[in-house]
Amino acid sequence: MLRGGTAVLRRAASGGGHGQGQGPAQPLEPSLLRFLVCPLSKRPLRYEEATNELINEELGIAYPIIDGIPNMIPEAARTTQKKPPAEGSKEPEQ
Amino acid sequence: AAGLCPARALLARPGAALRALCGSVRGLAAGPEMHFGFQTVTEAERREKIYQVFESVAKKYDVMNDSMTLGIHRVWKDILVRKMNPSPGTLLLDVAGGTGDIAFRFINYVRSVRERQLQRKLRHHQNLSWQEIAESYQEDKSKSLGDSQVVVCDINKEMLKVGKQKAQHLGYTEGLSWVLGNAEELPFDDDKFDVYTIAFGIRNVTRIDLALQEAYRVLKPGGRFLCLEFSHVSNPLLSSLYDLYSFQVIPVLGEVIAGDWKSYQYLVESIRRFPPQEELKAMIEDAGFLKVDYQNLNSGIVAIHSGFKL
C-alpha cells in the first residue's frame, strides 16, 4: 500500500462516472476504444459487451477484459469460433 | 564497460556470456542467447524470468523503491514530469508504468496547471455577462484536467493490479486508464499520443529496438519520447561506491523487505548490463527520433533520454 503518510484523497471534481465495482465484468473505460487496436494487425477492434471482449473480426481473435483492464497480449487472446480466420490464426487456443 | 564493475569479472562465465557482454546491444540480432542480469538465457526464458521478477515484487515495489533509493526515486520521477511540462489536453502513454507513479504525477501536474489557468482567466474576466458566467459553469465542471489523459500500459498483471488499487486509494478516477500490453507490440493506433514515457522499464524490455520503434509509431508527429532509466556512472570513485552499495546492500534489502534476494540481484545486474547513455541515444536515433538528448541525474546513476518525432 502507500507509504509517505497522509494519503490525501483527492476526489475528482466531476465525480468520475464509472462504477468501481468488484465484479469480474467491469466495463471498459470508453475513452480507451479511441486508441486500442489489435497489437498484431494494428487494426480496429469491436467491443463485445456480452462477453466483455475486444474482437478482431479479421483475424478471428478476442482479447479479454479483466477487472476493466483489457489484456492485449496476443498469447492471451482466444480464437473466436464463429468463422475460421482467413489468414490462419497465429493464436494458440487458451 | 566490463571494467566498471569488479563483481562482473567474478561472475562472468567464459565464452558465450562474455561475447554477449561485449557485444553492442544495438547490433544484437536476437540470437538464441540473451542476458538476464549476468546469466545467459534464451529470449523466451528471459521474458519469463522478468515476468516472474515483477510478479514477485509487485506488492512491495513501492516500498523497495523507497528503501533502495532512500526516497530519491520520487525526485527523479518529479524531474521527469517537470521536464515533460505537460499542458492540459495532453495525451500521455506511460509504458511499463505498472504502479502508476508517473501517471499520478502527470495528473497532479496538469491539474495544477489547469487550476492556475482558470484562476488567471477569472482575474481577467471580472466583467462577464450573465450568459458567459452560465456557460463557464458548464465548461469548468468537466475539465478539471482539461481533457488530459494518461494510458498506463504494462505487461505484468500484478503490477497493473497494484497500480489500479493505488489509484482508487488515492482518488484518481478521471483521465486514467490501464492496459495490459507489450512494449514491443503496442495495442495502440499510429500517431495517437503527445508524449510517451517509460520510467525504469526499458531495461526490462527484451527487444529494446522494437519498443523504440513502437514508441515512434504511436506518437503523434511532434510528439515526445521520454525515458527515465538507470545509466552509467563515469566517475570512478563514485562508481565504486555505487557498485558496493548495489551489490552488497540492495539484494540484502530485497531479502529483508520483500523476502526476495534473487529479484533484486537481477535488478542490480540488469542495471550493469544496460547500455550507457551514448549507446541508448544512438538506439533512440535509430528508431527515427530527432533532437535526441540525455540529462544525467546524480552523476549518471540515472539518466533521462528525450527525443522527438518530427
pLDDT at res. B219 = 98
In this complex, is the C-beta atom of B185 within 8 Å of any C-beta atom belonging to chain A? yes
* Residue B38 placed within a domain: no
Task: Report the residue of chain A nearest B104, measured CA to CA.
Answer: A10
pLDDT at res. B209 = 96
CA distance B84 to chain A (A): 21
Separation of alpha carbons A14 and B58, rounded Å: 31
Separation of alpha carbons B114 and B236, rounded Å: 45
* Residue B280 placed within a domain: yes
Q: How many CB pairs under 8 A join A and B?
A: 93
pLDDT at res. A25 = 56
Separation of alpha carbons B100 and B163, rounded Å: 5
pLDDT at res. B145 = 80
Mean pLDDT lowest among A64-68, A77-81, B248-252, B253-257: A77-81
* Residue B37 placed within a domain: no
Which structural domain, as residue segments, surrounds residue B155?
A: 53-309
**Secondary structure string (H, E, C) spanning chain A:** CCCCCCCCCCCCCCCCCCCCCCCCCCCCCHHHHHCEECCCCCCECEEECCCCEEEECCCCEEEEEECCEEECCHHHCEECCCCCCCCCCCCCCC
* Residue B23 placed within a domain: no
Partners of B160 on chain A (C-beta within 8 Å) are 69
In this complex, is the C-beta atom of B1 within 8 Å of any C-beta atom belonging to chain A? no
Evaluate whether A39 touches A72 at the Cβ level (below 8 Å). yes
CA distance A20 to chain B (A): 8
pLDDT at res. A81 = 63
Contact across the interface for B182 and A13, Cβ inside 8 Å: no
Separation of alpha carbons B225 and B309, rounded Å: 8
In this complex, is the C-beta atom of A67 within 8 Å of any C-beta atom belonging to chain B? yes
* Residue B13 placed within a domain: no
Say which of A2, A16, A69 has its CB closest to residue B173: A16
| Cβ-Cβ contacts under 8 Å for B54 (sequence gap 6 or more) | B61, B98, B156, B158, B159, B204
- Within 10 Å of residue B29's Cβ, how many Cβ atoms? 5
Separation of alpha carbons B17 and B11, rounded Å: 10
CA distance A69 to chain B (A): 5
Reduced to 3 states, what is the DSSP secondary structure of residue B296? strand
In this complex, is the C-beta atom of A35 within 8 Å of any C-beta atom belonging to chain B? yes
Name the one residue in this structure whose C-alpha cell is 481473435. Answer: A61
Q: Is pLDDT of A92 > 90?
A: no
Separation of alpha carbons B163 and B177, rounded Å: 11
Partners of B64 on chain A (C-beta within 8 Å) are none
Share of chain A above pLDDT 70, in %: 56
Separation of alpha carbons B91 and B86, rounded Å: 9
pLDDT confidence bin for A75, thresholds 50/70/90 = confident
Task: Report pLDDT digits (tens) over A8-23.
Answer: 444 433 433 344 444 4
Partners of A13 on chain B (C-beta within 8 Å) are 141, 144
Interface test with A, best of B50, B158, B177, B213 (most A CBs within 10 A): B177
B residues 122-141 near A, CB within 8 Å?
A: 141
* Residue B161 placed within a domain: yes
Separation of alpha carbons A52 and A23, rounded Å: 12
* Residue B12 placed within a domain: no
pLDDT at res. B30 = 47
pLDDT at res. B1 = 40
Task: Report the residue of chain B nearest A36, measured CA to CA.
Answer: B188
ipTM of the assembly? 0.78
Say which of B151, B182, B188 has its CB closest to residue A73: B182
Print burial letters for B191-201: b (CB count within 10 Å at least 16), e (below 16): ebbbbbbbbbb
Distances in Å between the alpha carbon of A56 and those of A63, B69, B167?
8, 43, 30
CA distance A9 to chain B (A): 5
pLDDT at res. B289 = 97
Partners of B149 on chain A (C-beta within 8 Å) are 31
* Total number of domains constituting chain B: 1
* Residue B100 placed within a domain: yes
Mean pLDDT by 10 residues, chain B (310 residues): 38 41 42 76 87 88 89 96 95 94 96 89 78 73 78 95 94 93 96 97 94 98 97 94 91 86 87 94 97 96 97
CATH code (residue B226): 3.40.50.150
Q: Is pLDDT of A63 > 80?
A: yes
Name the one residue in this structure whose C-alpha cell is 544525467. Answer: B296
User: Which residues face B226 on adjacent strands?
Assistant: B197, B306
| Cβ-Cβ contacts under 8 Å for A39 (sequence gap 6 or more) | A72, A73, A74, B181, B182, B185, B186, B187
Q: What is the pTM of this model?
A: 0.80
pLDDT confidence bin for A34, thresholds 50/70/90 = confident
pLDDT at res. B32 = 64
Instruction: Please give the DSSP secondary-structure letter assigned to residue B127.
Output: T
Among the listed residues B142, B138, B160, the one whose alpha carbon sits nearest the alpha carbon of residue B151: B160
pLDDT confidence bin for A5, thresholds 50/70/90 = very low
Evaluate whether B107 touches B145 at the Cβ level (below 8 Å). yes
